[in-house]
Structure 1
Amino acid sequence: MSINLNSALWKANDLKDEKLYAALLLAEGDRRLAALLQPPADHVSREADLPLDEGSRRHAMCPDLYRSTQTGSINRVMELLGFKEEMTCVKDDIVDPKEVKLFLEDSHEISKRTNKHWGHGDGLCTLQEVTAEKNTVLHIAAEQGHLELVETIIGRDNTLLVSQNAMQETPLHLAARAGNRRMVSLIIFLAQESGIGAYQVLTKRSIEGDTVLHEATQHGHEDVVQALMTVAPALSAELNNTSMSPLYLAVVRNSIGIVRILTQYSFSSALGRNRQNALHAAVLQSQEITSMLLDWKAELANRRDASGNTPVHYAASSGDVTIVKTILDIVPLAVYIQDHEGSSPLHVAARMCNCSAISCMIDLCPDSFELCDNQGRNFLHIAAQHGGKEINLNGRDLKNIISIINLVSRKPDLKKLVNERDNEGNTPLHYASMNGFTEVILHLLKVTEADTTLMNNEGKTALDHAASLDSFFLMAGAVATLSGYGATFSPERQDKVIKNWKDETTKWIDRVSDNLIIVSVLIATIAFSAAFNVPGSYNGDGIANLRQTRQYSIFLVLDTISMSASLSATILLVVSKAVSKRGSWISFSLSLIFLWISLFTMELAFVIAVSVVMGNGKTATKCIVSAISMSFFIWTVLAILNICSPANLETIRKFLSFTRKQTQTTRQIGIQFPKLASYVKRWNLFIFLNFLLYFTTVAILWTI
């Protein structure tokens, strides 16, 4: 008896599985089954099973036979098959009243009623009958876990052990999928005992190339996997049609117990789809499985998938620092492996804005920051580039990009990355300027002291890229920030580089003014009507009932401001469409301010009106109404400041101070962006106006 077989017998004994133990005893003289205990060194073959030929087609299964097999009724199945001599006196596990009635009826009447229309000349069912999916009675019984019925059926026709359904699955496939370990062991034993051979049933593949071990693994049946790995551990080296091993499927399912069983064998395959291995999947699933696989085969960390990615690339993309550190503590050189595009794990982490992962990799491998991709970009290039259009930048990502910039500024050896140029000559500041995100530009300038005068291979500076942005708001913020910190344009003829924002501004004003005119007229109409539909109504003499109250007077003042401001905004909007370009911008800017005042005072007038009609009581209700009004106002202002702000207050101050100087840059900004300084000044006015409105509101609400 071989050492492998002896070991398998010990394991079967430990499992207390008599059938599995008996099957292994019968394997002593069976070379094929013994071969499954250890795969050959050059195991690469994957012989496909041929589908059943046309001559082996079976008859359709009659309903009674199907139902009886489903319920596990041995007596009924044997009667339908005509094996009365094998009918038992044992009570079936599941007894249906209708089935009992049929069982007691005359056999001739049963056959006549059940099999009349199913093509059975003698009135009896046969073991060759199959369901719509070509499942035999053995398939059904094995899937449902009817042990005695399976043993009885195999005793009549052991060839059903290797029968395959439409998906080329054997009864053992279905038993493994169902997770019935006793059924799996029984089928293996009966196959070996009957002369069919356990090798035949264990090595059959489904139409998808899955072995019984694949089935048990991907459905998470740990006890079935334990049994199969006892009798045929070589199955763990097999791949299905999509090149996925049982171990890979176990990791994807996050089945820690199955992974532990499969990794007890050095020859188990770890391959998965697209040339991934189990560790690629593990780093996205579980810290425990990752450690388990590294202890089993540490070299998995260096292996690439079809795109050249290692498991460290995957871990860096997820941002799980614990897993990144776990891998690099064992295989530190994995951080230097680059994919087919030249991206290292550092580039991947930067693309996903995972600052903690970048910090971890640099701490463990200090020189890894020098790696550049195929375009010559370091990880700071990627962070600056993907802080813009290529990802949906949210608050968390922006915070992490700024953290990456701060990390670079804190480490002296990393500071050279700030002004490092890629194959096209672009620095990280160039990329940040192309995307126009002011916060990223500001931190590169303020924290890392990036050089604003560097030109790329096309001769463009960061300010040139900022000036090329299509969005006015992004352009305004980027240009204001860069010029405030001394950035310059590249030396070019001014008539060749000017982007005529005058025409763009005029088109934008014409488009927006049409809608704003409607809004302003509507506000004026509402305010006019409110003055004559006053709170508290009128008395018999046509005089307002609440005219003596202070709140009523405040209401009239606010309503008058709202109507007057909206009328002024309407007039200015009409004028902006008729006057010159310069006058159009001024009229439009003033109309926005008046419209904002009108909307705000109308909202405040509503709060006062509610207060006055409620009288002197109801203080809690008045406070709630006031709080709701103020909350919406504050959140609206904050949203506008976040969306439309050209820069923070410090940058705005620097820019306005810079525009007072007579330099080539200020002259070019004045020519190319004549409205930029005006826009920044009016933005300051908007901020001041909202502070004034806020304090005015607090003072008015305090009086009520």
Structure 2
Amino acid sequence: MSEMLEKILAMKLVQQKDKDGRTPLHCAASIGYLEGVQILLDQSNLDPYQTASDGFCPIHVASMRGNVDIVKKLLQVSSDSIELLSKRGENILHVAAKYGKDNVVNFVLKEERLENFINEKDNGGNTPLHLATMHRHPKVVSSLTWDKRVDVNLVNDRGQTALDAVLSVKHPTTFDQALIWTALKSAGARPAGNSKFPPNRRCKQYSESPKMDKYKDRVNTLLLVSTLVATVTFAAGFTMPGGYNSSDPNVGMAALLMRNMFHMFVICNTTAMYTSILAAIILIWAQLGDLNLMDTALRFALPFLGLALTAMSLGFMAGVYLVVSNLHWLAIVVVIIGIICLVGLLVPFFLLFLPSKSTNRILRHISYYPFLILVWASKSPEMKRED
């Protein structure tokens, strides 16, 4: 490819633009062709500051595409590249934040010479944090809010902080909006209080209760699950592994009563039954029709239901282990599979409670990796392929 590029350059087409006003350097920066960028920069008659019809210089295009190596190369060639702004007054951090390129954002945050970019405003008064928020990029918002130099409460020309900007998204993706809200709140972000955004839209926070029907569907689903757990564990309490003694003096007593794994089975089964019943009772209260009561009931019922599912899984593992314990290798396999599946059960369950909105530094650190997992899970397959 480089040989072909050399031949094209010999035809003196280095300054030619296409219908969108893009030069060969724009195109090379867009596709991440680092070698081609270097060859083009070596041309004495090349102007690396030419703008396309959208107002982007090559360094803006590289930032938009997440080609961080090319951004570094263009900054090395000329210190003037640092000051380049698009027609909207956007620097490279604005562009990277707007298009969700966290690798470029992290690079800029680590560069001391680019420190002025962090809270710089574009022509609309938006900081990079505003743009990442409005364009729904939770990972970029997280990266920015973890940097102490970022002022999370700056306002734009519409009088909005980044927290207000969460509400200004015309067609929000609820989960992305929730993650962004969480990242901002944990960093101490506050609403401006004087936002020019219409009050009726400002009040519609993602954290407000959704429509009654959606809440009822969630409550009914959890109530069904808790009822099924209670039913299964109740039945397991009268069908003990190993059966019962049929001879004196222990008629009716469990045959494996003195085994340690049997003790574990009984304790786990009992725990699962009573916690699932407790969750069901709490969820029945949620059926009274009050949205605030529903929200409270869900927050209390979920931990009990999680404990019930965990205890039921452990009880199943203990019961199967008991009945196959004479075949040692099979008993070990049962335990290994049980532990692996239990971890698989606990991880997504705990993600329901994390990340935390608390500004406490310890809780923020605990929530960091769960937040990244949720960001990854929230992406569509198309977005993942594009990244």
- In structure 2, relative to structure 1, the CA distance for the partners of 1:346 and 1:505 (3 Å cut) is farther
CA contact (8 A) 2:84 2:91 kept: yes
Query: Which of residues 192, 207, 210 is equivalent to 1:490?
Result: 192
Correspondence 1:568 to 2:288? no
Give 1:530's aligned amino acid: A
TM-score normalised to structure 1 length:
0.46
**Structure 2 match to 1:622:** 331
The Cα of 1:448 is off from its aligned counterpart by 6.6
- In structure 2, relative to structure 1, the CA distance for the partners of 1:548 and 1:473 (3 Å cut) is same
**Structure 1 match to 2:305:** 595
The Cα of 1:623 is off from its aligned counterpart by 3.4
**Structure 1 match to 2:154:** 454
Q: Which has the larger radius of gyration?
A: 1
Give 2:40's aligned amino acid: I
**Structure 1 match to 2:317:** 607
- In structure 2, relative to structure 1, the CA distance for the partners of 1:479 and 1:383 (3 Å cut) is same
Q: Give me the whole-angstrom Cα distance separating, in 1, the residues matched to 2:185 and 2:323.
A: 55
Correspondence 1:324 to 2:37? yes
Query: Which of residues 36, 45, 61 is equivalent to 1:348?
Result: 61
CA contact (8 A) 1:405 1:448 kept: no
1:346-401 Cα distance to aligned partner (Å, 9 max, x none): 222222222222111111232223333333322211211222xxxxxxxxx6xxx1
- In structure 2, relative to structure 1, the CA distance for the partners of 1:448 and 1:328 (3 Å cut) is farther
- In structure 2, relative to structure 1, the CA distance for the partners of 1:448 and 1:367 (3 Å cut) is farther
The Cα of 1:292 is off from its aligned counterpart by 4.8
**Structure 2 match to 1:55:** none
**Structure 2 match to 1:634:** 343
What SS does structure 2 have at the residue aligned with 1:509? helix
- In structure 2, relative to structure 1, the CA distance for the partners of 1:610 and 1:329 (3 Å cut) is farther
The Cα of 1:539 is off from its aligned counterpart by 4.8
Q: Give me the whole-angstrom Cα distance separating, in 2, the residues matched to 1:595 and 1:569.
A: 6
Give 1:528's aligned amino acid: F
Q: Give me the whole-angstrom Cα distance separating, in 1, the residues matched to 2:268 and 2:182.
A: 37
- In structure 2, relative to structure 1, the CA distance for the partners of 1:416 and 1:546 (3 Å cut) is same
- In structure 2, relative to structure 1, the CA distance for the partners of 1:407 and 1:434 (3 Å cut) is same
Q: Give me the whole-angstrom Cα distance separating, in 2, the residues matched to 1:437 and 1:644.
A: 21
1:187-233 Cα distance to aligned partner (Å, 9 max, x none): xxxxxxxxxxxxxxxxxxxxxxxxxxxxxxxxxxxxxxxxxxxxxxx
1:301-340 Cα distance to aligned partner (Å, 9 max, x none): 3222222222322322232333322322336845322222
**Structure 1 match to 2:107:** 407
1:157-181 Cα distance to aligned partner (Å, 9 max, x none): xxxxxxxxxxxxxxxxxxxxxxxxx
Q: Give me the whole-angstrom Cα distance separating, in 1, the residues matched to 2:199 and 2:120.
A: 31
Q: Give me the whole-angstrom Cα distance separating, in 2, the residues matched to 1:643 and 1:351.
A: 33
**Structure 2 match to 1:694:** none
- In structure 2, relative to structure 1, the CA distance for the partners of 1:340 and 1:432 (3 Å cut) is same
**Structure 2 match to 1:516:** 222
Give 1:478's aligned amino acid: I
Correspondence 1:381 to 2:81? no
Q: Give me the whole-angstrom Cα distance separating, in 2, the residues matched to 1:384 and 1:583.
A: 39
CA contact (8 A) 2:188 2:359 kept: no
Structure 1: any 5+ residue segments left out of the alignment?
1-285, 388-396, 657-679, 688-704
Correspondence 1:463 to 2:173? no
Give 2:221's aligned amino acid: N
The Cα of 1:612 is off from its aligned counterpart by 0.7
**Structure 2 match to 1:175:** none
CA contact (8 A) 1:455 1:462 kept: yes
TM-score normalised to structure 2 length:
0.79
CA contact (8 A) 1:485 1:654 kept: no
- In structure 2, relative to structure 1, the CA distance for the partners of 1:537 and 1:319 (3 Å cut) is farther
Give 1:455's aligned amino acid: V
- In structure 2, relative to structure 1, the CA distance for the partners of 1:495 and 1:289 (3 Å cut) is closer
- In structure 2, relative to structure 1, the CA distance for the partners of 1:324 and 1:629 (3 Å cut) is farther
Higher RCO (CA-CA < 8 Å; seq separation 6+): 2
Give 1:443's aligned amino acid: S
What SS does structure 1 have at the residue aligned with 2:48? helix
Correspondence 1:339 to 2:52? yes
Give 2:77's aligned amino acid: L
The Cα of 1:452 is off from its aligned counterpart by 2.9
- In structure 2, relative to structure 1, the CA distance for the partners of 1:644 and 1:542 (3 Å cut) is closer
- In structure 2, relative to structure 1, the CA distance for the partners of 1:311 and 1:639 (3 Å cut) is farther
Q: Give me the whole-angstrom Cα distance separating, in 1, the residues matched to 2:133 and 2:266.
A: 50
CA contact (8 A) 2:98 2:132 kept: yes
Q: Give me the whole-angstrom Cα distance separating, in 2, the residues matched to 1:317 and 1:643.
A: 38
Root-mean-square deviation (Å)? 3.3
Q: Give me the whole-angstrom Cα distance separating, in 1, the residues matched to 2:352 and 2:78.
A: 40
